[in-house]
Structure 1
């Protein structure tokens, strides 16, 4: 009886705690699985603790390398367009199985199919693949025109564990088929208007990690090929090489060790668009990143730099000739951590860097972009930060930090006006003031972050995050489509000997500013007149999501997901409302 009361109490605590917030910032489906290849889930950090499995004990036992396990989505994970919900079904490593297939159906015509399979081969090799499909019929009762969409991914990987290192290669194809349904300024001539957009992306990644940290540490190769419905094409390739010498003892300083690292990175991107001004850009970025780390216990000092050389070429129909730019950058890198105890670790540092903005990356943030984008590199000249983190009795983990930075070419999105001002109602899919373009400005950013994880029981985990970002720009009064505050609150609870897994997540965002257009037409004027509002507001939101999965048999589970349970059709971008309350149920077969 006491255990039953305890279970009921914690279920109530888990679900009621999330009711403070509701609604989700970017409605998306993220299948939070621990996937192979693990190469995309593990970032090597010599200051961390946990070691990767499958390493030969002879070479690793003396000086084992250490790893940070990060929540980087595996190559097969995907997110759909913004009218989707978030899959928050809890996953527990102890019960994890690689081989499974699950099928689900729900309201709004939702269909989910998801599977993964892997097998061990001879000579320490492992191969596998996975497939995912999600579709929805969209908001038929909200929009008279088509808002349906679907996403599919197919992936394959191969891992090889040799005597000197681990080799991984993976390939992934992703398809996103959706509509520019966010029409608010001008009604189409008919409900059968063509609003179609579709993107295809193929990625191939390779990785070799040497077991020893002597000189050549690891090598990574990445490539990506993207195309869309309107003829845009983008090719991206990157190679990263890490050289290192770790664990050097300094005789003049007791218990002080020294690491030396040198990172070499070469990245190239070529993007070509076929619409409107037909923007074309090509970037070649070479980065040299030396770093020295002095550490004693859990205290450390990192001193380093990034030296980048950027070769950029841009052209479009409005430019008389191709614009070329060659520039060299230097960015400071330093961090100091003083570990007074496990519970209190004070840290401060400075960082900077160059980020190439690609069409593929922009679509991940906003799929409703016009297929003609000006692409630039964002420069973080410097960012100072400080904070406090710690681990209290293995029950509470926290990290509080604040920072201030100076940036050039800060990326955000603005709404587009009509491209054709003639008073016509049969228009191209992107010509209803329903798309967005990248825009850049220089300025400063002030930010504060807080994250807390609480583990009151072995089978209960709670987490909360809060982020504040304030931009001051040189030319724009407001930064568009970025909320001032974002927050999340979630938890996972496992009961009945882990046969029943419960999950909850609430996401909150404050109001965000955007530009928008009001389109008018007078009978005596052959053209539309558009008035721009540069200070329009998209309301904040709170999104509540719950999930449950019950293991009927060791090879059979049933699950149910509830997304946006407050049933609020808020907007993520102007005109783009998300699905209301969604219930999806299904079965999962493990083998």
Structure 2
């Protein structure tokens, strides 16, 4: 189970940017000497995370109700053109973790990978490290006359310090994504057309975890600065202090935890083209709650209070100001009959501030001019069962229903300038996406499982069904009804050979598209534009294999195969992904 515990640590410290978190961060505690609740999800790797510390935390933290903030990795091939790094493509087999390594790989489609990580201790209580990751591809030269090449660079520094009262982590990261708006379907531009987009991100994050939980539990600070090729600028800052008093005796074997989350969230977005939208979002959040627990059963009762302020202006809209106070319910009950069967249910709500940075992580082809506003989850009711069968089978099955306002969806943009011209901006080929909002309800069913039949074999699977019912929109663009993921990891030959498999199935999605015809009756000549509001984007099956062989304790060779069925699917309409891919490389550990 050490592998699961290590993954939990990674998820805990890489929660920055979670797509489904509310303005007040979920509680995240690092508890290593107990079983983790089986929240089985693919977890985004963060190499700058704090290492697992044996016998941490002190006994004072051992009785907390543990929640982990996990990041859903988009269900797409690792080496797809539309987003090169859906998850860290480095071959990662966590049977024996080595912090210091360098690896390099090359494959078809001109894919090149260079990846390195180094860390060391300054003294017994201080560790520093650095991480660099580069990936590039020449793109789909046989599919498009114009360029679809991409490159991605990430570099980071981190420091971990351990004191008698708590643990401190700080990391600074720089990332650059350089790619093209290549998904052109309605026009046929020249091969040398300029379609370039480039996004730079700089982040500084800090976290302090107080051991005793007396008055102070933890403090987290997150900040980021984003800029792109079209003069967009965005700054974000988030601060959360979790005040607490834990392990208070209330009756016989029943104890109580008291918590108060105090959060501040700021987003400032300024766009430099078209309508030049500018948004300032501010949210102050208080989240008091009481948790009564006995063994593995507990009852949590609390609330979230949010004070939200928004300012917005553009070239076509006068300045708008809006302030509002929100109250959201929060309660959860877990009845633990045995480790094999636990029933849980609850209600929650929250305010999520949508940002350009977050939207680009989901869809890198957003236009650099958006009207941003938050998504309000008035309430979400959920029930489920989960369990851990003899540390061999972990499962989690749940169903939920939520009422939301301003749910965000992607939609394809039409031509911005309908006039026929020899030159166009990179984003004006009906090849970018905007954001649209609507109110409605969401029904969902989720199931996840992990199975450990052998010491060296891990099987996992996940199923998700989501259905929207909206007040105004006829279609929910780019939201599949069903998506599933299944995988396996197997080690053999004394863990010298590590094999991995991941399969992905996604049902059809709906998009909108545009048909352009020349109108010679106008001068200058323009395009007549016809919209199809029910464009189908086909579902797909994506199969991936990986293998790593340790020739020497410090030298390995690896081979990765992605989208092996050569499925020519699209993640967003017009944007075809890479076909079958094979990459080979070497890894040096030290």
- What TM-score comes out, normalization by structure 1 length? 0.89
1:44 aligns with 2:29: yes
Offset of residue 82 of structure 1: 2.1
Offset of residue 54 of structure 1: 3.9
SS in 1 for 2:361: helix
Q: Deviations over 1:405-424 (max 9, x none)?
A: 10000011000010001112
Offset of residue 37 of structure 1: 11
Distance 1:56 1:110, change over 3 A: closer
Distance 1:324 1:412, change over 3 A: same
Map residues 127-276 of structure 1 onto 2, 5 A cutoff: 127-188=128-189, 190-250=190-250, 253-276=251-274
Unaligned runs of 5+ in 1: 1-31
Distance 1:70 1:404, change over 3 A: closer
For residue 420 of structure 2, the aligned residue among 414, 423, 430 is: 423
Match of 1:557 in 2: 556
Q: Deviations over 1:171-229 (max 9, x none)?
A: 000000000000001111x1100000000000001111111110011111111000000
Distance 1:83 1:91 in 2: 19
SS in 2 for 1:150: strand
Q: Is contact 1:49-1:68 (8 Å) kept?
A: no
Distance 1:394 1:46 in 2: 17
Distance 1:382 1:81, change over 3 A: farther
Distance 1:118 1:36, change over 3 A: farther
Q: Deviations over 1:503-522 (max 9, x none)?
A: 00001110000110000003
Match of 2:435 in 1: 438
Match of 2:540 in 1: 541
Map residues 115-134 of structure 1 onto 2, 5 A cutoff: 115-122=116-123, 124-134=125-135
Offset of residue 145 of structure 1: 0.2
SS in 1 for 2:179: strand
Distance 1:130 1:45 in 2: 23
Distance 2:307 2:332 in 1: 24
Distance 2:123 2:10 in 1: 18
Q: Is contact 1:90-1:492 (8 Å) kept?
A: no
Distance 1:533 1:364, change over 3 A: same
Distance 1:403 1:426 in 2: 49
Distance 1:435 1:327, change over 3 A: same
Distance 2:237 2:494 in 1: 47
1:312 aligns with 2:301: no
Map residues 330-409 of structure 1 onto 2, 5 A cutoff: 330-409=327-406
Match of 1:296 in 2: 294
Distance 1:282 1:325 in 2: 10
Distance 1:83 1:354 in 2: 28
Match of 1:510 in 2: 507
Distance 1:37 1:532, change over 3 A: closer
Distance 1:80 1:309, change over 3 A: farther
Q: Is contact 2:9-2:30 (8 Å) kept?
A: no
SS in 2 for 1:434: coil
SS in 1 for 2:564: coil
Q: Is contact 1:65-1:213 (8 Å) kept?
A: no
Offset of residue 35 of structure 1: 8.8
SS in 2 for 1:43: coil
SS in 2 for 1:536: strand
Offset of residue 569 of structure 1: 1.4
Offset of residue 426 of structure 1: 2.0
Q: Is contact 1:558-1:586 (8 Å) kept?
A: yes
Distance 1:418 1:339 in 2: 57
Q: Is contact 1:419-1:431 (8 Å) kept?
A: yes
- What TM-score comes out, normalization by structure 2 length? 0.89
For residue 284 of structure 1, the aligned residue among 271, 282, 285 is: 282
Distance 1:100 1:305, change over 3 A: same
SS in 1 for 2:448: strand
Distance 2:459 2:260 in 1: 38
Match of 1:29 in 2: none
1:582 aligns with 2:585: no
Offset of residue 314 of structure 1: 0.6
SS in 2 for 1:542: strand
Distance 1:497 1:90, change over 3 A: farther
Distance 1:548 1:71, change over 3 A: farther
Distance 1:79 1:145, change over 3 A: closer
SS in 2 for 1:362: helix
Offset of residue 91 of structure 1: 3.9
